[in-house]
Amino acid sequence: MSIILILLLIIAVILGVPDIRRKLISKPAFKFFKRVLPPMSNTEREAMEAGDVWWDGELFSGQPDWFSLLKTKVPTFTAEEQAFIDGPLEELLAALDDFDINAHQRDLPEEVWALIKKHRFFAMIIGKEYGGLDFSAAANSHIVSRIATRSLTAAVTIMVPNSLGPGELLTHYGTMEQKQYWLPGLAKGDEIPCFALTGPEAGSDAGSIPDTGVICKGEFNGEEVVGIRLNWSKRYITLAPVATVLGLAFKLYDPEHLLGDKEELGITCALIPTKHEGVEIGDRHYPLTQAFMNGTTYGKDVFIPIDWIIGGQKYAGKGWQMLMECLSAGRGISLPALATATGHNAQRFTGAYAFVRHQFGLPIGKFEGVQEAMGRIGGLNYSIESMRRLTVTALCEGYSPSVITAMTKYHMTEMGRQVMNDALDVHAGKGIQMGPLNYLASTYMGTPISITVEGANILTRNLMIFGQGATRCHPYVLAEMEAAANEDEDAGLRAFDHLLIKHIGFAAGNTFSAFWHGLTGARFANAPVSGETTKYYQQLSRMSRGLALCADVSMLTMGGDLKRKEMISARLGDVLSHLYMASAVLKRFEDDGRQVADLPFVHYALANHLHAIGVAFSGFFQNFPNGFVGGLLKFLVFPFGIRYQKPDDSYAQAIADAMMQPGVARERHTFLSYWKDDAEDVTGHMELAFVRMHELQDVYKRVQKAQKKGTISSNLLGAELAEAALANDVLNAEEAEQFGECEVLRMRAIAVDSFANDEMKEGKFNAKPI
Ligand SMILES: Cc1cc2nc3c(=O)[nH]c(=O)nc-3n(C[C@H](O)[C@H](O)[C@H](O)COP(=O)(O)OP(=O)(O)OC[C@H]3O[C@@H](n4cnc5c(N)ncnc54)[C@H](O)[C@@H]3O)c2cc1C
């Protein structure tokens, strides 16, 4: 006992007396920290430092403040936004015919372009003083999601000017003259913008673009001015084929020192009218059958005046920082909106189809195998919509959360891909035969586009989420890095010493709490609510402690190597992401007023996220470079093993049943899914058939019973079946008529398209339902 007391006393003295602590602990730790610090390029540092930390920081702290999360207000629409959603948005949606756009027009029809311009769909992020709509992130997300449920081509066309590009860059960095010159035209749609960063040699590694701008003197409008001679070759650029203004990213050099001492100024962004001499807009690409404009642009020795740099000369070389600071809209709103559309459509139409499509005398949604897929669709769609809302909430609160938007982009598009695969499997041939009657195929084809753009997903998962999260969300690491980078060694050491003591306390607290929660199954962890969801809050708090502990130990033992150990760091990123998604699910359940009907979805989603956390931790422990440390961490976080199970089958079955049931719960889960109130349109027709079959359920049951008994033949269909049911007194005259009409609806709801062979060979797709 006295030895322990002496040891504690020694530790207290070492830690408590600043001079001793600095000499024995902080100084060697400072040196070690400087040595293991990952080497960072300027572009990496700018990416790392861009943006804010929000709920992700809480999750990384090991002690998420659930009350503060639940207190955060859900954003609502202004009267103007609501009027736009009810008016111009509905008008646009009704005018969209996605099959016609992609198969015939290979462009949006003239009247759709006209509607987009008339209602200023391109101006959601432009301020009112320039004629823009100045909508919130919530409205932007709602509008793009809903358009994407109708047409991916229209959604991509509209989302691009409303995310990273000329409009946003001008709004944040443009000079007054630039704003006044460009923004009114962009708001009206007279000017069509595109933004060109990617080229053949620079995709994910956009910081290494080979396109150059050299400061020199040249002639502009008959006068000699200081400007930039540009050379570029870009590809994959959305809207480039129709753009009137090109946002261009290039590396700027000043070999003659016309601007100052520096020769290499770095990445710079300029705005160039596409009709400017030397600007070449090349041919179109053909992105997975989608008709949105996407293509190439080139320029050789194109001279532009220096004040075409966005923000003017003072922003020369600041392009990368500007781009990193403006990533939130694209990553947090636009691409997630495409995934949201997939989720809402998949749930709505798969539920309807699984009810109207019968096999072996039963709706296919009654078969367990199909229910498993439907469970995934409903469960993941609950997570998709929850994540959309939480991220939009952060944006509406004024944050620009870089880690959260990276998580949102990656996981929503991945969940969207899973949901779409399941929807297609349930629809089988109906999902494969393309034509106006196929409401899935276009989105299915286009799904990899969201996976690829704004940070291809493999890179986003492996480099961005944890790579940035570990330093940005950790309460001390970024400040410690700044202290280590301080050129004044003494000041750096003092700051480091101060942080280190807190960091040690933080790590010790996490180790103890992670182990304690592991031993007790988190029974004593705090939860802000009581009821069915309490246990999830407790488990998430426990996993948050585990993440904080494992992240600290990884950074301590691997240092700069952790950046290259993508498979290790990505798994910690997965833990952070699933903690975020599970938080989003819990918040949505509360915000929606704890709907009992939503409980199977909530249980499914949360079990799924906890299971994914367990899988990520398991891979992390198994592959930790030092086996002993990996084993020790596993023991501390999961002393009794990893026990998070996949969602129970009963939840999948309950979800499948709910998806096949019309009513308020279905509307709540799929409210962004557009269906046209017109029986001629496939979406309106599917709704009609689905609802009508529900109304006639009793009639259908009687006919099926009679078929089983052999009273009427099982081989009859449609009108003949209705007649036989009437003739055999199974149905009365009125019922037989209703049944016959409903069968016509049902047959049409399961129909697919066919095309004349000769016409199809000529590229004409005049569809006939079959
Ligand atoms: C339809 C479409 C529209 C687009 N619109 C625009 C636009 O308007 N403007 C614009 O500038 N660009 C645009 N892009 C470009 C898009 O942003 C790039 O395609 C994207 O950055 C990926 O580049 P890449 O295709 O060259 O893939 P690559 O960079 O070659 O990547 C190939 C694979 O390697 C992975 N990878 C690369 N490096 C790493 C790493 N360090 N760790 C782990 N994985 C890694 C990537 O995740 C990817 O899976 C568009 C692309 C498409 C397809």
Rounded CA separation 753/685 (Å): 15
**Distance from the alpha carbon of residue 295 to the mean position of ligand 1, in angstroms:** 14
Q: Residue 32's pLDDT band (boundaries 50, 70, 90)?
A: confident
With a cut of 80, say whether residue 199 has pLDDT above it. Answer: yes
Catalytic residue, candidates 191, 414, 454, 687: 454
Rounded CA separation 213/646 (Å): 54
Task: Calculate what percentage of the chain has a pLDDT beyond 90.
Answer: 82
pTM confidence score: 0.95
Rounded CA separation 221/272 (Å): 15
pLDDT tens for 210-230 read 999 999 999 999 999 999 999
> How distant, in Å, are the alpha carbons of 105, 288, 292, 442, 611 from that of 102?
6, 10, 8, 8, 40
Nearest CA to ligand 1 atom 24: 203
Backbone region of residue 514 per phi and psi (left: phi > 0; alpha: psi in -120 to 50; beta: other values) = alpha
pLDDT tens for 141-174 read 999 999 999 999 999 999 999 988 899 999 999 9
Tell me the best of 44, 160, 169, 198 to mutate to test the pocket of ligand 1, counting ligand atoms within 8 Å of each CB and taking the most: 198
pLDDT at position 31: 82
The answer for residues whose C-beta is within 8 angstroms of residue 21's C-beta and 6 or more apart is 14, 15, 497, 501
**Distance from the alpha carbon of residue 238 to the mean position of ligand 1, in angstroms:** 13
Closest atom of ligand 1 relative to the 287 alpha carbon? 1
**For 632-652, what is the mean pLDDT?**
98
Q: Which helix (H) or strand (E) holds 49?
A: helix 42-49
The answer for residues whose C-beta is within 8 angstroms of residue 583's C-beta and 6 or more apart is 55, 59, 64, 69, 390, 540
> How distant, in Å, are the alpha carbons of 162, 188, 190 from that of 130?
15, 9, 13
With a cut of 60, say whether residue 1 has pLDDT above it. Answer: no
Closest atom of ligand 1 relative to the 460 alpha carbon? 47
Nearest CA-CA partner of 567 in 472, 461, 454, 642: 461
pLDDT at position 556: 87
Is 454 known to be catalytic?
yes
pLDDT tens for 346-355 read 999 999 999 9
Q: Are 392 and 81 in contact (CB under 8 A)?
A: no
For residue 633 the two structure tokens come to 């961490």
Rounded CA separation 282/500 (Å): 55
Could you list the beta-strand ranges (E) of 419-497: none
Rounded CA separation 132/519 (Å): 57
Q: What is the mean pLDDT of the chain?
A: 94
- Residue 380: strand pairing partners: none
pLDDT at position 488: 87
What residues does each domain of the chain span?
A: 25-61+459-643, 79-188, 193-317, 683-750
**Distance from the alpha carbon of residue 289 to the mean position of ligand 1, in angstroms:** 19
Question: Which is it for strands 768-769 and 753-754: parallel, antiparallel or unpaired?
Answer: antiparallel
Closest atom of ligand 1 relative to the 456 alpha carbon? 47
Output DSSP code: residue 762. T
The answer for residues whose C-beta is within 8 angstroms of residue 480's C-beta and 6 or more apart is 33, 496, 499, 500, 503
CATH number belonging to the domain at 79-188, selected among 1.10.3720.10, 1.10.10.60, 1.20.910.10, 1.10.540.10: 1.10.540.10
pLDDT at position 33: 75
For residue 564 the two structure tokens come to 């290259």
Residue 655 three-state SS: helix
Q: Which residues of 652-691 are buried (b: 16+ CB within 10 A; e: fewer)?
A: bbbbbbbbbebeebbeebbebbbbbeeeebbbebbbbbbe
Nearest CA-CA partner of 615 in 623, 603, 604: 623
Q: Which of 48-52, 271-275, 528-532, 564-568 is least confident?
A: 48-52
Tell me the best of 168, 204, 454, 460 to mutate to test the pocket of ligand 1, counting ligand atoms within 8 Å of each CB and taking the most: 204
Pocket of ligand 1 (CB under 6 A): 195-198, 203-204, 236-238, 287, 294, 449, 452-453, 456, 458-459, 462-463, 566
pLDDT at position 486: 82
**For 689-715, what is the mean pLDDT?**
94
Domain 193-317 has CATH 2.60.120.330: no
Query: For the chain, first and last CA: distance in Å?
Result: 86
Closest atom of ligand 1 relative to the 249 alpha carbon? 11
**Distance from the alpha carbon of residue 127 to the mean position of ligand 1, in angstroms:** 30
With a cut of 70, say whether residue 37 has pLDDT above it. Answer: no
3-state SS, one letter per residue, for 148-183 = HCCCHHHHHHHHCCCCCCHHHHHHHHCCHHHHHHHH
**Distance from the alpha carbon of residue 453 to the mean position of ligand 1, in angstroms:** 6
With a cut of 70, say whether residue 40 has pLDDT above it. Answer: no
